[in-house]
Chains A and B, each alone.
Chain A
Amino acid sequence: VISHGVARGAFTCELCELSSPYTFYGQKPPNTRGIVLLEECYGMRDPFNPEKEKFLLLGSKCSVCNKTVCVGTECSLFYTKRFCLPCVREHLDQFPEQIQTELAKKKSPNSRDRWSPEDEL
């Protein structure tokens, strides 16, 4: 049984240099039934949740360039697979319009901090 107890190393985003110890890598966060990740992820115990089983995904590898990137919207996006933003920009035409407008919106400040369901869909 894998647990979140011991850090397996430090995860560092190759784009923004965000760094944190991670406790698992793969598609199955430890001690969770019924959750499967759709990509191989670096993750840790959710540090803001008192329950031990709750996890937090930190990042994964870009499916195009294989760079390790964090899940932050400034660095990567997930659309059936993980793409780092430089790769998304390079292949922007292959992404649906919704993603393209979203990316364009991101350039304007203030849109980052506030989440609304609108951003999600």
Chain B
Amino acid sequence: MSERRSDSQDWDWSSPQCRAQLDEIFFRQHDYIQANSPEHQEFWTFFERFQRFKARKEMAGSKNNRGSNKAESHEGKARKKSGGGAVDLGLPKVYDARYKINVSVCSRDVEHGFGSSGHRRHREPSGPGRQEIADCRLALLHFLDFTQKQSFGKVVKLRQEQKNLPIFQYRERIVALVRSHPVVVVAGDTGCGKSTQVPQYLLSSGFSQIACTQPRRIACISLAKRVSFESLNQYGSKVGYQIRFETSRTPATKLLFLTEGLLLRQIQQDVSLAQYQVLIVDEVHERHLHCDFLLGVLRTLLALRPDMRLILMSATINIKLFSSYFSNAPVLQVPGRLFPIQVIYQPVPPEEQASKSEKLDPRPFLRVLQGIDQRYPADERGDLLLFLSGVAEISTVMEACQTYAAHTKRWIVLPLHSTLSLAQQDKVFDIAPPGVRKCIISTNIAETSVTIDGVRFVVDSGKVKEMSFDVKAKMQRLQEFWISRASAEQRKGRAGRTGPGVCYRLYAESDYEAFAPYPVPEIHRVALDSLVLQMKSMGLGDPLFFSFIDPPPSSSIQTAVTYLKEQGALDVHGQLTPIGRLLAQLPVDVVIGKMLVLGSLFSLLEPVLTVAAALSVQSPFLRSAQHNPDCSTARQPLNSDLGDPFTLLNTFNAWVQVKGERGGGSKKWCKRRGLEEQRLYEMVNLRRQFKELLRSHGLLEPEKHSVQLAQDRAQRRKRLTERQRLFQLKREHDLQEGSHRKVLCLEEGLGGEPSSGSDSEGTRSGKKDKDSAGQDMDIQEVKFKLRHNVSELQEAAYISADLSSRQQVLLRLVLCRGLYPQLALPDEHNSTRKDSEQVFHTCNKQGVVIHPTSVFASDPEVLHVPEYESSKFDADKGQSSRHQLLAFVTLLETNKPYLSNCVRVPALQTLLLVANSIDSNADCSRLVVDGWLELNVSDGEAALRALSSALTLRGEWESLLQAQLVHAGPSSTTGLGFTGPKLSRRKLEKLADGLIRFLVYTEVSYSLRRLTALQPQNLYIGPQLNMELSLPQLFPGMSAEPDPVKGGLRVTNYFTYNCLCDFKDLYSECLRIFWSCPHCDLRLPLTPLERMQHEATCRFAEEQLPEDDPDTLKAASSSSLTRLYHCDICDKDLTLTSTEILRHKRQHLP
């Protein structure tokens, strides 16, 4: 031993050089463990521990040196004994821990033979000697053995957990049932393990190509993650997921978790779903719209695919319904795993019950907190979960609870609802410090979607807010209801997941008995527009006769059909129109889909993509930041008084620029403006999906590969290494994800931003916040960069940020035509009302207000008719050329009916261009639009001119749109893609120009009002017997026929001439007035109809003229990205892209 010591005098195990020398022996490039890998680092940590342990043991050994004979004698005894045994195992005589390791390592010293006995080489002055190599080898063997034991231990633990699940006993029965029956229902309550285990049972018994649907995207990801981990395939792709923007699916995937909506889309592509052998539909009891529909579709699909296996999984709710829908499919019931829960009914005393207008009284909730504090010692862990109906209720109760918490220091109060930022939502999973309980105040989101462990107490208010659709008012409504018994049980169950619990119900047991047994299925509550559209495109026949598991009221199907007809998605016979077919493919609301299609026609695609994406995700503007003056100031430059979609557009564009310039700095940028960055990430993903969809349907030219080819090789390589680095970062993130939860501090629940604190505690929590934010930002940023080409996005953002005012006019028209008929009229007395009391009317609902988050709520003056105009004529009250309408995305009634996401548009011009029904009197001075808006134009001449231009423009617009759609149609089915632009760019530009001119330069003074309820009855003259039928052709290819209901003449499918009852002479249509054509030299006395006819043919002829100036044409068609820019400083006209313009401008900066 002493010899060894002297030998190792100059050998230092902790020196990096010494280690590096051993690395060259044991951890070479092709060895099992390579230098600088994570395992390599772990090894050296292990090594230190191992050496310390050995040293300790040696010390202990030398102390007991004299006693060592004892051990030897023991061994001698043992051997003696064994000598008498029947079988000799042939074990070595002296114990060595090394014999316990079943691995050997072939390292460089072994391969090259040095260090072996006989050829004892002289060690280099500082190199490792035989002893060092032996020490390292021994440590390595122990390390390998240790890592094996670690991993194997994990497998054992996993298998044990699986065995402990209630469903494990039913494993074989489930597989047998699925083998012998086409449809099986597995019913089990929370915690029985059905969602994770059933797919695995099927997988391990030989089934493959399994699809398992989930109602929520997040569940797809987490289940795929969990199941791949449990089936020991964490790093393979046997188990995958597919959701709207993300997939981990590969050809090797055998089990796929996907959303119900996505499976429906797949059926749309392939009716027989040949790609799957087994379908599992999970959570069928939740009765989501998609799920109910999916079940109906699958029922018919099973007839086509007798080999297909379908498994329905549900909670033990209404199982009979599902079984009998699939001809009495066998049901397997699995008990849940819940601990006993004590139910305490504590009805709210009458004096504490809030009437409709009042705030919720928090006292009943506070009493529960107090009761818990009195009854249960603080060192007994267990958190509290409170179920309330909505956000307003949550903040009321939260305020009271926080006061109590600040006093007792025993509670951390946390809200939980879907409009919170994700970071805030995530806090409910963090751990309370000892002696403190979490009090989570939640909507019904915690009933099924979010599962929080460690809850011991539940308070159930018994209320829920549910969305319903008011068919009559065409309005969504968020109303408070009593929950169902099934929901009450679900809420109660949340208290018994980790141990016995208590559920306080703030209603009487008799109330509970009176609850409905189940919640109302979504299909009975919501608008069915998208559903009916999808049914039509799947060729499922008349939706009224589709055999739903629980058919919706036929009135709501009819409403949807009518709506789709209004939108132009269905024709009069209820068949899909070309645009309808396309809309059915887009996974968005019909109105948003229309915007996309319309936007692709003009060169407005980039801004329209952004707006459509922005309107399809939750608002990025955090409610909590609304009252923060700093946020408002920072947001100010993003606001647009044109409307909320423009504010969203500005926000997105500014964010993209920040991403491009500062990368990860965008997180801070968002925080200062009170923006939830996650929503912006969603927008950028959705935007890209829209773009791809439009491209695959031939509405967009294919990507220009030439640009990529032109990039030089070095640049490409740079991008490639960058991507590799990003992938590495993402992998590292995935590995450490969800590894540990933070411990909350007592101040955390006290609301407000933690950074606002000035004391040491404040800075501490602020720092913590920054750290976690830093990590979070990294991965989002990485994903963003992996998915998107930032410079391409920047280019797109430049284009849409730099819209000329003319383009903005056109964009508003496109948005409005998309949103039509969702229009609202400002009340005529608004200019005399306070900002907060502005009232609007829609076609079906009077007296709606603008949501406080809208720009028009804070700046309603932009909607008022300028005073100097309206007061100019005393006789013609309300006459102006500046009337405006609001096009809105949603009308939702909560405590009031609110309009959200509004754009303002010029009333007369827009109506003439988009309305489905325009009726006029004889001289067109009075127009009624869609039966509810009346326009009185003082100057009949001007009215006629406007109407005539509108008819022409609409005709052109429609024919170009149809040409685009027809062109799009076949290419999407043959998969050949875009076959080259067939639409004349010149025609499109001319149309765009015409529309813009019409919107901007139509100066007509008119009054605008809503017809009162009685007026429509006496609106029309009705069919006239003495009507002349042989009228001249008004427009090429269009005929005017008497309208059988309204009377007058149907000039186009949206314009009926002279059908309005009028105080003026019925025969004014025959009155000829001298008129000169603005397009040719014609000057003749003509009737209004004759004038329109002439104008139409005159313009038609004008279009046939040979193409004008070839130079301008060339400039216009050269690139959609470049445009003419006049630089005031150089005083030159330049043709540049938007980015180039910006660069050019920067040149001039000092």
Surface stretch bound by A, among B98-106, B261-269, B283-291: B98-106
B151/A49 in contact, CB under 8 A: yes
| Chain B 224-237 near chain A by CB (<8 Å), digits 1 or 0 | 00000100111100
For residue A70, which residues in chain B have a CB less than 8 angstroms away from its CB? 152
Surface stretch bound by A, among B88-96, B941-949, B950-958, B1042-1050: B88-96
A120/B95 in contact, CB under 8 A: no
A80/B97 in contact, CB under 8 A: no
Q: Is A61 an interface residue (CB 8 A)?
A: no
Surface stretch bound by A, among B70-78, B173-181, B966-974: B70-78
User: How many angstroms between the C-alpha atoms of A100 and B790 in the bound complex?
Assistant: 65
Surface stretch bound by A, among B153-161, B302-310, B650-658: B153-161
- Residues A78 and B57 in contact in the complex (CB < 8 Å), given A58-B152, A94-B78, A97-B74: no
Nearest neighbor of B142 in chain A, beta-carbon distance:
A120
Q: Is B82 an interface residue (CB 8 A)?
A: yes
User: How many angstroms between the C-alpha atoms of A93 and B89 in the bound complex?
Assistant: 11
Nearest neighbor of A48 in chain B, beta-carbon distance:
B151
Distance of B107 from chain A, by nearest CB (Å): 6
B91/A79 in contact, CB under 8 A: yes
Q: Is A57 an interface residue (CB 8 A)?
A: yes
Q: Is B81 an interface residue (CB 8 A)?
A: yes
- Residues A47 and B102 in contact in the complex (CB < 8 Å), given A33-B30, A57-B148, A97-B95: no
Q: Which listed residue, A36, A52, A81, A94, touches B104 by the CB 8 Å rule?
A: A36
- Residues A44 and B146 in contact in the complex (CB < 8 Å), given A49-B151, A72-B156, A97-B95: no
B102/A36 in contact, CB under 8 A: no
A115/B146 in contact, CB under 8 A: yes
Q: Is A107 an interface residue (CB 8 A)?
A: no
Nearest neighbor of B80 in chain A, beta-carbon distance:
A93
Which label, helix, strand, loop or mixed, suits the secondary structure of the B interface?
Answer: helix
Q: Which listed residue, A41, A56, A72, A79, touches B100 by the CB 8 Å rule?
A: A79
A47/B232 in contact, CB under 8 A: yes
Q: Which listed residue, A34, A47, A63, touches B32 by the CB 8 Å rule?
A: A34
Which label, helix, strand, loop or mixed, suits the secondary structure of the A interface?
Answer: mixed
Give the contacts of A28-70 with B (CB-CB under 8 A). 32-39, 41, 44-54, 56-58, 60, 63-64, 70
Q: Is B145 an interface residue (CB 8 A)?
A: yes
A94/B74 in contact, CB under 8 A: no
User: How many angstroms between the C-alpha atoms of A50 and B235 in the bound complex?
Assistant: 6
For residue B105, which residues in chain A have a CB less than 8 angstroms away from its CB? 34-36
Q: Which listed residue, A21, A47, A82, A95, touches B91 by the CB 8 Å rule?
A: A95
Nearest neighbor of B731 in chain A, beta-carbon distance:
A50
Distance of A117 from chain B, by nearest CB (Å): 4
For residue B87, which residues in chain A have a CB less than 8 angstroms away from its CB? 64, 91
User: How many angstroms between the C-alpha atoms of A51 and B145 in the bound complex?
Assistant: 18
User: How many angstroms between the C-alpha atoms of A120 and B142 in the bound complex?
Assistant: 8
B49/A94 in contact, CB under 8 A: no
Q: Which listed residue, A37, A44, A77, touches B232 by the CB 8 Å rule?
A: A44
A121/B53 in contact, CB under 8 A: yes
Q: Is B426 an interface residue (CB 8 A)?
A: no
Distance of B224 from chain A, by nearest CB (Å): 15
For residue A32, which residues in chain B have a CB less than 8 angstroms away from its CB? 32
User: How many angstroms between the C-alpha atoms of A1 and B590 in the bound complex?
Assistant: 55
For residue A18, which residues in chain B have a CB less than 8 angstroms away from its CB? 155-156, 159
Q: Is B149 an interface residue (CB 8 A)?
A: yes
For residue B74, which residues in chain A have a CB less than 8 angstroms away from its CB? 97
Q: Is B85 an interface residue (CB 8 A)?
A: yes
- Residues A79 and B106 in contact in the complex (CB < 8 Å), given A18-B156, A94-B82: no
User: How many angstroms between the C-alpha atoms of A63 and B87 in the bound complex?
Assistant: 12
Q: Is A109 an interface residue (CB 8 A)?
A: no
User: How many angstroms between the C-alpha atoms of A54 and B107 in the bound complex?
Assistant: 17
Nearest neighbor of A16 in chain B, beta-carbon distance:
B156
Q: Is A110 an interface residue (CB 8 A)?
A: no
A94/B107 in contact, CB under 8 A: no
User: How many angstroms between the C-alpha atoms of A6 and B95 in the bound complex?
Assistant: 40
For residue A97, which residues in chain B have a CB less than 8 angstroms away from its CB? 71, 74-75, 78, 95
Q: Is B993 an interface residue (CB 8 A)?
A: no
Distance of B94 from chain A, by nearest CB (Å): 8
B89/A91 in contact, CB under 8 A: yes
Q: Is B482 an interface residue (CB 8 A)?
A: no
For residue B32, which residues in chain A have a CB less than 8 angstroms away from its CB? 32-35, 53-54
Nearest neighbor of B101 in chain A, beta-carbon distance:
A78
Distance of A99 from chain B, by nearest CB (Å): 8
For residue A38, which residues in chain B have a CB less than 8 angstroms away from its CB? 101-104
B148/A56 in contact, CB under 8 A: yes
Distance of B278 from chain A, by nearest CB (Å): 19
Q: Is B875 an interface residue (CB 8 A)?
A: no
User: How many angstroms between the C-alpha atoms of A53 and B39 in the bound complex?
Assistant: 12
Q: Which listed residue, B49, B106, B152, touches A71 by the CB 8 Å rule?
A: B152
For residue B57, which residues in chain A have a CB less than 8 angstroms away from its CB? 121
Nearest neighbor of B52 in chain A, beta-carbon distance:
A117
B235/A121 in contact, CB under 8 A: no
B81/A93 in contact, CB under 8 A: yes
B89/A64 in contact, CB under 8 A: yes
Q: Is A20 an interface residue (CB 8 A)?
A: yes
- Residues A34 and B78 in contact in the complex (CB < 8 Å), given A39-B102, A47-B234, A50-B735: no
Q: Is A108 an interface residue (CB 8 A)?
A: no
Give the contacts of B1-50 with A (CB-CB under 8 A). 30-32, 37, 39, 49-50
User: How many angstroms between the C-alpha atoms of A64 and B74 in the bound complex?
Assistant: 25
User: How many angstroms between the C-alpha atoms of A60 and B103 in the bound complex?
Assistant: 13
Distance of A29 from chain B, by nearest CB (Å): 9
A35/B106 in contact, CB under 8 A: yes
| Chain A 88-121 near chain B by CB (<8 Å), digits 1 or 0 | 0001011111111000000000000101011011
A35/B50 in contact, CB under 8 A: no
List 28 contacting pairs A-B, 8 Å CB cutoff, sorted by A: A10-B204, A18-B155, A20-B232, A33-B31, A33-B32, A35-B106, A37-B103, A38-B104, A45-B235, A50-B731, A53-B32, A54-B32, A56-B151, A58-B152, A78-B100, A83-B89, A91-B82, A91-B87, A94-B85, A95-B78, A96-B78, A96-B95, A97-B75, A117-B50, A117-B142, A120-B97, A120-B145, A121-B53
Pick the 3 closest A-B CB pairs, nearest first.
A47-B232, A96-B95, A94-B82
New contact pairs (4) apart from A46-B151, A57-B102, A78-B100, CB-CB < 8 Å: A33-B32, A47-B232, A49-B235, A97-B75
